[in-house]
Chain A
Amino acid sequence: MEAIEDMTKLNGIHGRTPFRGRMASGACAAALALGMAGSAATADTLRIAGQGDIGTLDPQAQNSQITISVLSMVYESLVTRDEDLQMVPSLALSWEPVADTTWRFELRPDVTFHDGSAFDAEDVKFTIERAQAETSQFANFVGSIASVEVIDDLTVEIETAMVDPLLPDKLGYIMIMDSGWAEANGVTVPQDLGNEENTYAVMNANGTGPYTIAERVPDNRTVLEINPDYWGEMADDIEEVIYLPISSPPTRISSLISGEVDVVIDVPPQDVQRLESTDGLTVARSPELRTIFFGFDHASGELRHGDAGGTNPFQDLRVRQAVDSAIDADTISRVVMRGLSQPTAQLIAPGNFGWNPEGDERAPFDIEHARELLAEAGYPDGFSVRMDCPTDTYTNPEQICQAVSAMMSQIGIDIDLNLIPRAQFIPLLWDKDTSFFIIGFNTAYFDAMYVLETLLMTQTGEDGEGIYNYSGYSNPEFDELVREARVELDRDRRQELMYEAFAIARADVAYAPLHTQTLVYAMRDGVDVPVRPDNFIEIRWVTMD
């Protein structure tokens, strides 16, 4: 609640008078005459440019970063995050576990959807069930929920199948829809792409958030207009927000320099220095909640792609240690990332609950030692292996993989670099058809449990255990610790257990960690868009003069 009060103060400082708004639009008149202003820009318009477009307006149909980021201006969830990333009330006023497997949420009164209908407990029940539908891409977040009970208009009780300490965190990703609106428009379940039916919710929205959708032209622009009846606090009251996808990086950067957009997210690392030295522009950065690391095939008896005399060297701990010691993360950070990364020894980024401030020391970069380890493991002359690497996701994956290939060749591992688009890369992971790969992983809900459960646990197919464990890593001792931690309601004890689990994965070199990425936004002076480590544009914090 403190943060909300802070924002009220901010609002006092940055609140604009209509007069100032008019002055600025006068100054723009000349530019307008020349058509410079592009799409309907007025002085009180914030134009945000990013790499890709949002895919849909349906809040449960597509779990992609930019889609949920923009939709969070229109729709809201029960809980949200403050500037320290702590959970704070949004559509729920408070929540508490009333039994081991029951959470009670008290809802915020007097909130209305954009169409005027009231927000109540029925909407919460409806939306959670919608998110559980077969066509929903958010089923993971509500997978633990057994039932939702409406106690009264503003109270719901959520029953989970097993103890789930992270339920409120997970519900932060479930954006609440109006049950009446959904029924009236036939969108009670997210769109079924196979059914070849166009649904209303793809192009229309009705949330409780600070903005409404004024115009949507896919791959072109999404225009949001302020909701004058918004219940919450805003740092500013920008009348119009336009999200513009500009896929070509030089054009995206040029449009900021020429004043056609106010903010650019997805800033290429090579442009950061130049933008910083450009008058009138500000660059903001923050470590991202995404870690980049290298994965091995732990499971196959023989390398699927490569030649090591009929064996799989990565099953030998010494080989994995050798790879780990031969990666020079500092050089990659300096040369490839131009300082926009933080070398790490962990699989999660700072800012997550479960990140260990004392666990960030990397294995020393030591080629000699790595060679010895390989020789001990029975590969004095190394071996050859294919490295799978996507070219169009994460930051600079191609150059990172090239650099690591060169580093591997120094210890005798001959890399056949397989650079492919993401749409081909990810199926390789899914099919576990890879021997050596780079992967970036974000935690969901700012908690390490997601990584422990889905990425590192042995894949059992139950309760989400190891669903994204593409490497086949398996350690029963580790699994036991995670099973204990996932139902532990005491925070400190849970953190302790997670530290222990990570220490085991680290000792096993389950993955070879590389770095956490740095997020960079560039904006014109006078605009302040705080960078949230999970790359959410939190419009409620944005100010503009």
Chain B
Amino acid sequence: MIAFLLRRVGGALIVMLAVTAIAFVMFNYLGDPVVAILGQDASEAARRAVEQQLGLDRPILVRFFVYLRDIAGGNFGLSYRLGQPVTEVIVERLPATVELAFSGMAIALLIGVPAGVFSAIRRRSPVSRVLLGGSLIGISVPTFFVGVVLIWVFSVNLGVLPSFGRGQTVDLGWWTTGFLTSSGLAALVLPAMSIAVFQIAMIMRLVRAEMLEVIRSDYIQFARARGLPERRIYFRHALKNTLIPVITIIALQLGSLIAFAVITESVFQWPGLGLLFLQSVAAADVTIMSAYLILIAGLFVVINLAVDLLYFAIDPRLRARAGR
């Protein structure tokens, strides 16, 4: 078990180092941070001065090792665009993204799972057909379009929900939350709906497929033969057994919601990590971009590690092999 864990952690470290190197090199070709700092009208002398200030005049390898040394000490540097420490900026934006991702996922589960179960057990019902058709649309329509349509309907025409921002937030010291104010909750609705659309469709189709499989299996047939009530068969026995693959996928999806909420965040000016990343790209704010990518890589490494460990705990065959 410990050997397995060590191997996994070692692998994760190598992945992180590779990501750091790639991020660092890539961003050096994305654009010049001096532009963001000085703007178009900048004299040669002013540019040299800034380059020297930031150490951009040193060879890339030297800069990379200085960077590695700094981040090993927990210092990600200053954002060139905002003049604030990168760590501070990221910690400040993280709650917005996490709350959005979790809300979106909660909506997706609340709608997607029941819809999936329904369309599996009432396959021929017209409602199921509508649900399936709708889910196809949900999967194919681009997120930004969903966002713009939601704004058009709920903000511009009905005037009931805000189209941008996060509303009033409450500062809990280490976390700012929008869950505790009415304007914060109202501001959450449209962006959360917008990222939920794809997830609803995906979860629904996944649950449906798994359910159809399970319903055909022997133990459900036996349960039916025993004369158990329908609801008990479907929700107690069938659904429970479909959830293992569903949970795995959801965990990974949650990771990608946190990592790639860029589009939704920019449509709704949601002040989270995705928006931060987008604005950093436009300004060639290399320090933020690198830290962000490292953070996201870390997130996926942790999720994958957790999933691996979960399998290890669930699947006796893995344990047996590790024990040999």
Residues of chain A at the chain B interface (Cβ within 8 Å): 31, 33-40, 52-53, 55-56, 58, 61-64, 134-135, 137, 139-140, 191-199, 202-203, 217-221, 244-248, 250-252, 254-255, 257-260, 392-393, 421-424, 426-427, 429-430, 454, 461, 464, 467-468
Instruction: Using CB atoms, name the residue of chain A closest to B185.
Output: A35
Q: Say yes or no: B54 contacts A426, CB within 8 Å.
A: no
Can you list 11 A-B pairs, Cβ within 8 angstroms, ordered by A?
A35-B183, A35-B187, A64-B39, A193-B50, A193-B78, A194-B55, A218-B89, A219-B275, A254-B155, A254-B156, A430-B47
Main secondary structure of the interface of A (DSSP, over half): loop
B228 located at the interface, meaning its Cβ lies under 8 Å from any Cβ of chain A in the complex:
no
Instruction: Using CB atoms, name the residue of chain A closest to B33.
Output: A423
Q: Which residues of B contact A255 (CB under 8 A)?
A: 155, 162-164
Q: Which residues of A contact B89 (CB under 8 A)?
A: 218
B168 located at the interface, meaning its Cβ lies under 8 Å from any Cβ of chain A in the complex:
yes
Report the minimal beta-carbon distance from A386 to chain B, rounded to whole angstroms: 18
Cβ proximity bits B274-303 to A, threshold 8 Å, 1 near / 0 not? 011011001110000000000000000000
Q: Say yes or no: A251 contacts B267, CB within 8 Å.
A: yes
Q: Say yes or no: A220 contacts B271, CB within 8 Å.
A: yes
B140 located at the interface, meaning its Cβ lies under 8 Å from any Cβ of chain A in the complex:
no
- How far is it, in angstroms, between the C-alpha of A196 and the C-alpha of B85 when the chains are bound? 7
Report the minimal beta-carbon distance from A53 to chain B, rounded to whole angstroms: 8
Q: Say yes or no: B83 contacts A36, CB within 8 Å.
A: no
Q: Which residues of B contact A427 (CB under 8 A)?
A: 31-32, 34-35
Q: Which of B75, B164, B168 contacts A260 (CB 8 A)?
A: B164
Most chain A Cβ neighbours within 10 Å, of B31, B77, B160, B276: B31
Q: Say yes or no: B84 contacts A202, CB within 8 Å.
A: yes
Q: Do A424 and B31 form a contact, CB below 8 Å, given A135-B53, A193-B78, A260-B164?
A: yes
B139 located at the interface, meaning its Cβ lies under 8 Å from any Cβ of chain A in the complex:
no
Cβ proximity bits B102-127 to A, threshold 8 Å, 1 near / 0 not? 00000000000000000000000000
Q: Say yes or no: B35 contacts A423, CB within 8 Å.
A: yes
A53-B279, A464-B43 known; 4 other A-B pairs, CB under 8 Å?
A194-B54, A423-B33, A423-B283, A430-B42
Report the minimal beta-carbon distance from A471 to chain B, rounded to whole angstroms: 14
Instruction: Using CB atoms, name the residue of chain B closest to A143.
Output: B43
- How far is it, in angstroms, between the C-alpha of A58 and the C-alpha of B152 when the chains are bound? 38
Q: Which of A36, A424, A461 contacts B160 (CB 8 A)?
A: A36
Q: Do A250 and B148 form a contact, CB below 8 Å, given A56-B82, A260-B164, A427-B32?
A: yes
3 closest A-B pairs by beta carbon, nearest first, are A35-B186, A423-B31, A194-B53
B308 located at the interface, meaning its Cβ lies under 8 Å from any Cβ of chain A in the complex:
no
B17 located at the interface, meaning its Cβ lies under 8 Å from any Cβ of chain A in the complex:
no
Q: Which of B43, B160, B184 contacts A140 (CB 8 A)?
A: B43
Q: Say yes or no: B162 contacts A36, CB within 8 Å.
A: yes
Q: Which residues of B contact A52 (CB under 8 A)?
A: 279
B44 located at the interface, meaning its Cβ lies under 8 Å from any Cβ of chain A in the complex:
yes
Report the minimal beta-carbon distance from B269 to chain A, rounded to whole angstroms: 5
Q: Say yes or no: A251 contacts B47, CB within 8 Å.
A: no
Q: Which residues of A contact B186 (CB under 8 A)?
A: 34-36
Instruction: Using CB atoms, name the residue of chain A closest to B96.
Output: A220
- How far is it, in angstroms, between the C-alpha of A423 and the C-alpha of B83 when the chains are bound? 18
Q: Say yes or no: A254 contacts B84, CB within 8 Å.
A: no
Q: Which residues of B contact A424 (CB under 8 A)?
A: 30-32
B315 located at the interface, meaning its Cβ lies under 8 Å from any Cβ of chain A in the complex:
no
Q: Which residues of A contact B84 (CB under 8 A)?
A: 198, 202-203, 218
Instruction: Using CB atoms, name the residue of chain B closest to A455.
Output: B41
Q: Say yes or no: A220 contacts B165, CB within 8 Å.
A: yes
Q: Which residues of B contact A454 (CB under 8 A)?
A: 41
Q: Which residues of A contact B279 (CB under 8 A)?
A: 52-53, 219, 247
Report the minimal beta-carbon distance from B180 to chain A, rounded to whole angstroms: 13
B255 located at the interface, meaning its Cβ lies under 8 Å from any Cβ of chain A in the complex:
no
Report the minimal beta-carbon distance from B168 to chain A, rounded to whole angstroms: 6
Q: Which of A61, A194, A461 contacts B52 (CB 8 A)?
A: A194
- How far is it, in angstroms, between the C-alpha of A467 and the C-alpha of B45 when the chains are bound? 9
- How far is it, in angstroms, between the C-alpha of A467 and the C-alpha of B47 when the chains are bound? 11
Compute the total of residue contacts between A and B using a CB distance below 8 Å. 183
Q: Which residues of B contact A246 (CB under 8 A)?
A: 164, 269
B138 located at the interface, meaning its Cβ lies under 8 Å from any Cβ of chain A in the complex:
no
- How far is it, in angstroms, between the C-alpha of A258 and the C-alpha of B53 when the chains are bound? 45
Most chain B Cβ neighbours within 10 Å, of A203, A251, A424: A251
Q: Say yes or no: B36 contacts A423, CB within 8 Å.
A: yes
Report the minimal beta-carbon distance from B93 to chain A, rounded to whole angstroms: 8
- How far is it, in angstroms, between the C-alpha of A426 and the C-alpha of B161 when the chains are bound? 40
B266 located at the interface, meaning its Cβ lies under 8 Å from any Cβ of chain A in the complex:
yes
Q: Say yes or no: A461 contacts B38, CB within 8 Å.
A: no
Q: Say yes or no: A55 contacts B82, CB within 8 Å.
A: yes
Q: Do A467 and B35 form a contact, CB below 8 Å, given A219-B279, A423-B284?
A: no
Q: Say yes or no: B35 contacts A220, CB within 8 Å.
A: no
Instruction: Using CB atoms, name the residue of chain B closest to A37.
Output: B183
Q: Say yes or no: B35 contacts A251, CB within 8 Å.
A: no
Instruction: Using CB atoms, name the residue of chain A closest to B263.
Output: A248
Q: Say yes or no: A467 contacts B44, CB within 8 Å.
A: yes
Q: Which of B37, B40, B268 contacts A137 (CB 8 A)?
A: B37
Q: Which residues of A contact B52 (CB under 8 A)?
A: 194
Cβ proximity bits B126-146 to A, threshold 8 Å, 1 near / 0 not? 000000000000000000000
Q: Which residues of A contact B55 (CB under 8 A)?
A: 194
Q: Say yes or no: A251 contacts B168, CB within 8 Å.
A: no
B205 located at the interface, meaning its Cβ lies under 8 Å from any Cβ of chain A in the complex:
no
Q: Say yes or no: A422 contacts B35, CB within 8 Å.
A: yes
- How far is it, in angstroms, between the C-alpha of A202 and the C-alpha of B43 when the chains are bound? 24
Instruction: Using CB atoms, name the residue of chain A closest to B51.
Output: A194
Q: Say yes or no: B165 contacts A38, CB within 8 Å.
A: yes
Q: Which residues of A contact B148 (CB under 8 A)?
A: 250-251
Q: Say yes or no: B32 contacts A423, CB within 8 Å.
A: yes
Report the minimal beta-carbon distance from A524 to chain B, rounded to whole angstroms: 13
Q: Say yes or no: A198 contacts B78, CB within 8 Å.
A: yes
Q: Do A245 and B187 form a contact, CB below 8 Å, given A192-B53, A258-B155?
A: no
- How far is it, in angstroms, between the C-alpha of A199 and the C-alpha of B184 when the chains are bound? 31
Instruction: Using CB atoms, name the residue of chain A closest to B183.
Output: A35
- How far is it, in angstroms, between the C-alpha of A35 and the C-alpha of B52 when the chains are bound? 48
Q: Which of B156, B160, B166 contacts A220 (CB 8 A)?
A: B166
Q: Which residues of B contact A244 (CB under 8 A)?
A: 164-165, 269
B213 located at the interface, meaning its Cβ lies under 8 Å from any Cβ of chain A in the complex:
no
B202 located at the interface, meaning its Cβ lies under 8 Å from any Cβ of chain A in the complex:
no
- How far is it, in angstroms, between the C-alpha of A348 and the C-alpha of B293 when the chains are bound? 43
- How far is it, in angstroms, between the C-alpha of A35 and the C-alpha of B169 when the chains are bound? 12
Q: Which residues of B contact A421 (CB under 8 A)?
A: 31, 282
- How far is it, in angstroms, between the C-alpha of A10 and the C-alpha of B194 when the chains are bound? 46
Interface positions, chain B 237-284, Cβ under 8 Å from A, are 266-269, 271, 275-276, 278-279, 282-284
Q: Say yes or no: A423 contacts B159, CB within 8 Å.
A: no
Q: Which residues of A contact B217 (CB under 8 A)?
A: none
Report the minimal beta-carbon distance from A309 to chain B, rounded to whole angstroms: 32
Q: Which residues of B contact A58 (CB under 8 A)?
A: 83
Q: Do A219 and B276 form a contact, CB below 8 Å, given A247-B266, A423-B30, A423-B283?
A: yes
Report the minimal beta-carbon distance from A291 to chain B, rounded to whole angstroms: 13
Cβ proximity bits B84-96 to A, threshold 8 Å, 1 near / 0 not? 1100110010000
- How far is it, in angstroms, between the C-alpha of A430 and the C-alpha of B43 when the chains are bound? 8
- How far is it, in angstroms, between the C-alpha of A99 and the C-alpha of B156 when the chains are bound? 61
Instruction: Using CB atoms, name the residue of chain A closest to B270.
Output: A220
Q: Do A392 and B282 form a contact, CB below 8 Å, given A38-B183, A137-B37, A194-B53?
A: yes
